Structure 1
Amino acid sequence: MIIGIDLGTTNSACAVFRDGAPMLIPNRLGQTLTPSAVSLDESGEILVGLAARERQANHPEVTATAFKRYMGTKRTTKLGGKMYSAEALSALVLRSLKEDAEVFLGEPVTEAVITVPAYFNDQQRKATHRAGELAGLRVERLINEPTAAALAYGIHHLDREARFFVFDLGGGTFDVSIVEIFEGVIEVRASTGDNQLGGEDFNEVLITMMRERFAGEWGNAVRDDRLYQRIREQAERARRTMSTAPSATMRVMWGETPYEMEVQTTAFEVAAAPLVERLREPVLRALRDSELRPEGLSDIILIGGATRMPLVRRAVARMFGRFPNATVNPDEAVALGAAVQAGLKARDAALKEVVVTDVCPYSLGVNISRAIPGGGFEHGIFAPILERNTVIPASRVHSFVTLADNQPDVLFGIYQGEARLVRDNVEIGKTRVKVPRGPAGQRIDVRFSYDVSGLLEVDILVEQSGERTSLVINDDQAGDDESIAQRREALAALKTHPRDDALNRAALARGEKLYENFLGEERAHIDWLIAEFQRAIEGQDPRTVEHAREAFHTALDRIEGERFL
């Protein structure tokens, strides 16, 4: 049995695709949301979920929450004398969800599709996969959270063409995606986000307000973790209250004294304005990358509990010039979408006509050195090969040359990120290739091939020697050697440069023929058309090339007349 799991910062949920539709699975308390919290009781027994979260305020030294934010880092949490990594704590939550699902379904659950923020990097995705394995699950796929939400929404709208914007503000992360539906295809056009922006940050605004209000009374105790957790609990309650009320009251008992502070919603919104401003850039970047304008979108879908805040909804309305769609349950959509993906993996008959594509959320490339005018070199420059929001699976090749005479080898570091310098990006692999001794300028072709499950295959060809080097980087480490071999075989079909595609070669041949047949202004125009088509080919984007080829033939038809073949 395979299930879909939304592993959230604040709450987690799981769902299954059954009888032609996704359905949420209740936990042992009959609730569909399980707090992402872990605690130890007095006897040392591990508690997960609501029981753990309720201990946060009074037993912070043995309780952990919001650990998803530290996935893929070396940060650990001490509980009862033992250190736990974020992935180990996440594994405990996943195991609890797995056990609840087995009770509800009445059969063993062995596989899962787990959601991750679209902007999780390679290390964070690998940590999530390891957490699934520690929980006793075979992780069939890691799927981006806004993509999962788009699946949950789009599965009911396959009969129409639409473009919609998924705005996902959860407890700890912020993601956005632009999704297009056409002819039974659900295609992600762009994804971006901020891994350090969510409901917890808005809670911190309220925590700071209360700490400052009672700084004199609390003195040094203001830094006490027990006090902090009590304020944090009240901040969460107050933030939720202010989603529907003009004010909220935060009450904390410290020592023998009760402390109370009323917060006006307007004051909170003023203090939180810098966080709201941070929501703008990912939205603008996604629109730029997808080459769409807000008026070209059919709907704006809100996902994640933090989108219930009126200041967030107003900000979204201002950005897009209209009110967002509020019909989707922001807490459930991601888990339901994960279940749809699980159904696709299980080849459910109800989903046989559905095709889902995703994008590469980060640019992938290598480190290079560049000559500086006047002499010398600048090292550590990032050269993207697969740019962010490339529809995957995809394969691209770029050419580089050696810098020095008799250079014996070249070290290629493989990086993920958007920064100009590789030191500011994430290194996910490296390989060294030998180069025959000779003058500088020897060509080396580097091809990146990337699939929807996070398999990155790097192929390097040294032109002079013909020597090839291959490196496989498995983003989520899903599957055994046989399944990885099958995925590599599928990628192999993409490893043809568009210039070698028969349709493109035929189109260029037609253009060259017409260039010879015409003179004057027509010849100059044909030359320009050929150059534009070749520019599209060198960009290596299949969709762009296809559109450019159609436009090329249309333009040539106007010059020559309609083709007879």
Structure 2
Amino acid sequence: MTKEKIILGIDLGTTYSSVAYVDETGYPKILENDEGQRSTPSVVYFEDSGNVIVGRVAKSSLALDPMKGVELAKREIANLSSSREKRNWEIYGKKYTPEDVSSFILKKLVKDACAKLGKEVNDVIITVPAYFDLTAREAVRTAGILAGLNVLALLNEPEAAAIAFTYGKVRKPETIFIYDLGGGTFDVTLLKYDGKKCEVLATDGDHALGGADFDRRLLEHLAKQAMEEGVDVYSNLEKLQELKENIEITKIALSTAEKKKVRVDQKQYEVTREKYTELIQDKLAETEITMNNLLQAAKEKGIEGWQNIDRIILVGGSSRTPAVRSLVARVTGKEPDITMNPDEAVALGAAIYGNIYKEIEEKLEEEQKQGTVKPEEVEAKKIFYLEGKVSSVCSHSIGIVALTESGKRRNAILIKKNTKIPCESEHVFGTRAAHQETACIRILLGESENIDECREVGKVTLRLTQDLPKESPIRVHLKYNFEGRLDVFSESLANGDKIESTLDLRDQLTPEEIQIQREQLEQIEVQ
């Protein structure tokens, strides 16, 4: 293979993943996998300790041998935002994390893409749910590195969809609402398009809601019907696998048909669209709550109601569900725009963003040759140019653990949710006791003052070299940068002691640990 500057856009999905690129004519295209499919099931199956299968074959194999593989790994990455302990799976005597499993999926996607292109490609843009927090985003970045990829950027999925929607078209400025319901996560995002740039105003979501939940409801319904006739699908893996495959077919069919017959162990059961809607109604109601929460938050940005929104775009395969389209139309009072393929928009948008990234790099190389940009200015200039195409917001408020006057610990929010990034904020706090040797800056994510309702994602320790009285001033400065990382600066105003660092996130591997793990994973063949 020959090397050429192509940047792949990857939609790393919970249930299905896809990859795209921009061809030599500037047209974004989905790259088929080695089976000729435009998407790949995000399922990993171990044939043995040294061989991994990813995709359709892995999906069918896992159903019959569930202890030898993993599905829905992205949901476990999302759960890093809320759980205290990282999930792992022990297979053939070795433990694998969500990042490890995701790295196998990424490696397979890029391997097939390179074979299709006939070129070696290593540079990628990977999309993430807009509601992913610092920890989950860094886990995705780590997965890319473990796969041996050069992760140029992480791009929010709704922003990728907006880029795809506006690319190559002359569109008037408008306010766009994106409803993104994927296989395992749900996002809503409000943005403004000014004819050149997509600027996110607000975002919200649920990382534990998606089409996989719809599948589960349909599975439980049909399994119960079969049980009433003496068929226990849960006790027979082959029957269970057959039902799961039929459920996926049924769900797709009900997007256009009013009813569909499903076979379970030689018997047929009819599922109507009305019944399917009834089964998932509570989940749909959860998305409506999130939609209204977003609209409430958008009032701070001058959006008073749905009448101020010009266009509604549906993204994610689960948005094909007629009940979803009906709900969105009812809530917003507008018919959704369904001109884009909801399964492919995110990957295509990531590829377009990658092409923009490449053009900016080429422009900066030329500016360096001309002497108009110094080497030390390149990164800042690159961010400036990228901000001219798309800008995002914080998906969660960022604060630190502080004490109230009564001595109770609280979350002191420094950067509010939906603040445009890059952004920064600072506050001066007092030491809690005299003669402190250190000041521990504990970083929290969450909207509540109650620290039990927030998540601690890391900490920075400031060493104090002099005996200081109680309430000695400590300045804490947080900077959330364009790459989605948090820089922490802390200084004692009494004696000048200071520390500045990029926050080391809790439960994340160090660069050295990532390299060791990458070398170990490279011993496993991915097909």
**Counterpart in the other structure of 1:118:** 130
Q: Of residues 15, 19, 33 in structure 2, which corresponds to 1:10?
A: 15
Q: 1:98 to 1:402 in 2, by over 3 A?
A: same
CA contact (8 A) 1:169 1:198 kept: yes
1:54 is paired with a residue of what secondary structure?
helix
* Identity rate, percent: 33
What does 1:206-221 align with in structure 2 at a 5 Å threshold? 206-216=218-228
**Residue 488 (structure 2) aligns with:** 458
Shift of 1:55: 3.1
Q: Which has the larger radius of gyration?
A: 1
User: Closer, same or farther in 2 for the Cα pair 1:144/1:43, shift >3 Å?
Assistant: closer
Aligned position for 1:470? 500
Counterpart in the other structure of 2:86:
74
Deviation at 1:54, TM superposition (A): 3.5
What's the offset of the Cα at 1:70? 1.2
Identify the structure with bigger relative contact order (alpha carbons < 8 Å, sequence gap 6+): 2
Q: Distance in 1 between matches of 2:232 and 2:221?
A: 16
* CA–CA separation in structure 1 for the residues paired with 2:44 and 2:473: 54
Name the counterpart of 2:396.
362
Superposition CA RMSD, Å? 3.0
| 1:475 CA drift (Å) | 7.3
> Could you tell me how far apart the structure 2 residues matched to 1:161 and 1:357 are?
16
**Matched-pair contact (CA < 8 Å) for 2:60–2:241:** no
Structure 1 position 226, deviation (Å)? 5.4
CA gap of 1:219–1:27, structure 2 versus 1, over 3 A, is closer
Q: 2:411 aligns with which of 382, 385, 391?
A: 382
Corresponding residue SS for 2:8? strand
Question: How many residue pairs were aligned?
Answer: 472
The 1:199/1:243 distance shift into structure 2, 3 A limit, reads same
CA distance in structure 1 between the aligned counterparts of 2:279 and 2:184, rounded to whole angstroms? 19
Deviates more, 1:385-394 or 1:23-32: 23-32
Measure the CA separation in 1 of the matches of 2:49 and 2:451.
48
CA-to-aligned-CA distance 1:11-44 (integer Å, 9 cap, x gap): 1111112333322222222322122122345998
Question: What CA distance in whole angstroms lies between the structure 1 residues aligned with 2:51 and 2:230?
Answer: 33
Match in the other structure for 1:89: 101
| CA–CA separation in structure 2 for the residues paired with 1:93 and 1:132 | 10
54-63 vs 338-347, which moves further = 54-63
Aligned amino acid, residue 333 of structure 2: G
Return the offset for 1:163: 1.0
The one-letter code matched in structure 2 to 1:411 is: C
**What whole-Å deviation, never above 9, does each CA across 1:405-462 have from its counterpart, x for those lacking one?**
5555432101223343333333222123355545543332211111121221111122
Deviation at 1:8, TM superposition (A): 0.6
Pairing 1:327–2:339 present: yes
Q: Deviations over 1:534-565 (max 9, x none)?
A: xxxxxxxxxxxxxxxxxxxxxxxxxxxxxxxx
1:535 aligned partner: none
Q: Which residue is 1:313 aligned to?
A: 325
CA distance in 1, matches of 2:237, 2:443: 40
| Equivalent pair of 2:443/2:456 in contact (CA under 8 Å) | yes
Task: State the distance in 2 between where 1:324 and 1:221 align.
Answer: 38
**Pairing partner for 1:51 from 46, 57, 63:** 57
- Stretches of structure 2 that go unaligned for 5 or more consecutive residues are 1-5, 364-381, 513-527
Match of 2:212 in 1: 200
Contact kept, 8 Å, 1:39 with 1:47, in 2: the verdict is yes
Task: Note the C-alpha offset of 1:236.
Answer: 2.1
One-letter amino acid of the counterpart of residue 420, structure 2: V
Superposed, 1:3-402 pairs within 5 Å as 3-18=8-23, 19-41=25-47, 45-71=51-77, 72=80, 74-79=86-91, 83-157=95-169, 159-182=171-194, 184-216=196-228, 222=234, 227-253=239-265, 258-291=266-299, 292=303, 293-347=305-359, 355-372=389-406, 377-379=407-409, 381-402=410-431
Post-superposition shift, 1:468?
Answer: 2.1
Describe the SS at the equivalent of 1:279.
helix
Please, which of 451, 473, 478 is the counterpart of residue 448 of structure 1?
478
Identify if the C-alpha distance between structure 1 residues 177 and 467 changes in structure 2 by more than 3 Å, giving closer, same or farther: same
Measured at CA, do residues 475 and 167 of structure 1 come closer, stay the same or move farther in structure 2, by a change above 3 Å?
farther
Contact 1:141 1:478 in 2 (8 A): no
Matched AA of 1:107: K
1:10–1:65 Cα contact (<8 Å) kept: yes
The aligned amino acid for 2:475 is D
For residues 76 and 223 of structure 1, the distance between their equivalents in structure 2, rounded to whole angstroms, comes to 25
Label 1:63 to 1:444 Cα distance change in 2 as closer, same or farther (>3 A).
Answer: closer
Q: Would the alpha carbon gap of residues 44 and 220 (structure 1) be closer, same or farther in structure 2, given more than 3 Å must change?
A: farther
CA distance in 1 between counterparts of 2:352 and 2:505 reads 22
Q: Which amino acid aligns with 1:8?
A: G
Contact 2:226 2:264 (8 Å CA) reproduced: no
Q: Equivalents in 1 of 2:97, 2:88: separation in Å?
A: 5
Q: Distance in 1 between matches of 2:186 and 2:50?
A: 35
Instruction: Compute the displacement of 1:113 (Å).
Output: 0.7
Q: Equivalent residue of 1:285, what SS?
A: helix
1:270 partner amino acid? E
Alpha-carbon spacing, 1:159–1:330, altered in 2? closer, same or farther (3 Å): closer
The alpha-carbon deviation at position 283 of structure 1 amounts to 1.4
Report the AA paired with residue 279 of structure 2.
A
Matched residue of 1:205: which SS? helix
Instruction: Determine the structure 2 residue equivalent to 1:414.
Output: 443
Are residues 355 and 475 of structure 1, via their aligned partners in 2, closer, same or farther at CA, if it must alter by over 3 Å? Answer: farther
**Distance in 2 of aligned mates of 1:369 and 1:325:** 49
CA contact 1:113–1:143 (8 Å) conserved in 2: yes
Contact preservation (8 Å) 1:204, 1:232: no
Matched residues in 1 for 2:284 and 2:172: separation? 33
Q: SS where residue 483 of structure 2 aligns? A: coil
CA distance in 1, matches of 2:121, 2:185: 28
SS of the residue corresponding to residue 61 of structure 2 reads coil
SS in 1 for 2:294: helix
Distance 1:316 1:41, change over 3 A: same
Contact 2:103 2:144 in 1 (8 A): yes
Query: Which amino acid is 2:29 matched to?
Result: M
Letter in 1 for 2:393: V
Q: Output the CA distance in 1 between the equivalents of 2:497 and 2:95.
A: 47
> CA distance change for structure 1 residues 84 and 228 in 2, over 3 Å: closer, same or farther?
farther
- Mapped contact 2:9–2:125 kept (Cα < 8 A): yes
What are structure 1's unaligned runs of at least 5 residues? Answer: 482-565
Aligned residue in 2 for 1:548: none
